[in-house]
Amino acid sequence: MFFDILTLFPSMFTGAFSDSIIKRALERKLISIDIHDIRDYSDDLKHKTVDDYPYGGNAGMLIRPQPLAGAIKDAKERLKEFKPLVIYLSPQGELLNQQLVKSLLDEKALILLCGRYKGIDQRVCDKYVDREISIGDYVLSGGEIPAMVMVDAITRLIPGVLGNRDSAENDSHFNGLLSCPQYTRPEVFEQMSVPEVLVSGHHAKILQWQKEQSIEMTRKRRPDLWEKYKEIHEV
Q: Which positions lie near ligand 4FM, rule CB under 6 A?
A: 89-91, 115, 118-119, 134-136, 138-140, 142-143, 146
Nearer to ligand 4FM, 96 or 177 (CB): 96
Nearer to ligand 4FM, 86 or 162 (CB): 86
The least CB distance from residue 78 to ligand 4FM, in Å, is 23
Nearer to ligand 4FM, 7 or 210 (CB): 7
Given a contact cutoff of 8 angstroms between Cβ atoms, the answer to whether 16 and 148 are in contact is yes
The least CB distance from residue 138 to ligand 4FM, in Å, is 6
The least CB distance from residue 92 to ligand 4FM, in Å, is 7
Nearer to ligand 4FM, 93 or 176 (CB): 93
**Cα–Cα dist 200/218, whole Å:** 25
Nearer to ligand 4FM, 13 or 229 (CB): 13
Nearer to ligand 4FM, 58 or 200 (CB): 58
**Cα–Cα dist 23/139, whole Å:** 28
Q: Kindly write down the DSSP assignment for every residue of 205-232, as one continuous string.
A: HHHHHHHHHHHHHHHHH-HHHHHHHHHH
The least CB distance from residue 69 to ligand 4FM, in Å, is 17
Long-range contacts of the stretch 92-97 (C-beta < 8 A, 24+)? 92/119, 92/132, 92/134, 93/131, 93/132, 93/133, 93/134, 94/131, 94/132, 94/133, 94/134, 95/133, 95/134, 95/136, 95/137, 96/133, 96/134, 96/135, 96/136, 96/149, 96/150, 96/153, 97/173
The least CB distance from residue 144 to ligand 4FM, in Å, is 8
Nearer to ligand 4FM, 114 or 178 (CB): 114
The least CB distance from residue 89 to ligand 4FM, in Å, is 4
Phi and psi at 36, nearest 5°, equal -130, 135
**Cα–Cα dist 80/135, whole Å:** 26
User: Which residue's C-beta sits nearest to ligand 4FM?
Assistant: 119
The least CB distance from residue 66 to ligand 4FM, in Å, is 18
Helices and strands (DSSP H and E) totals, the chain:
7, 9
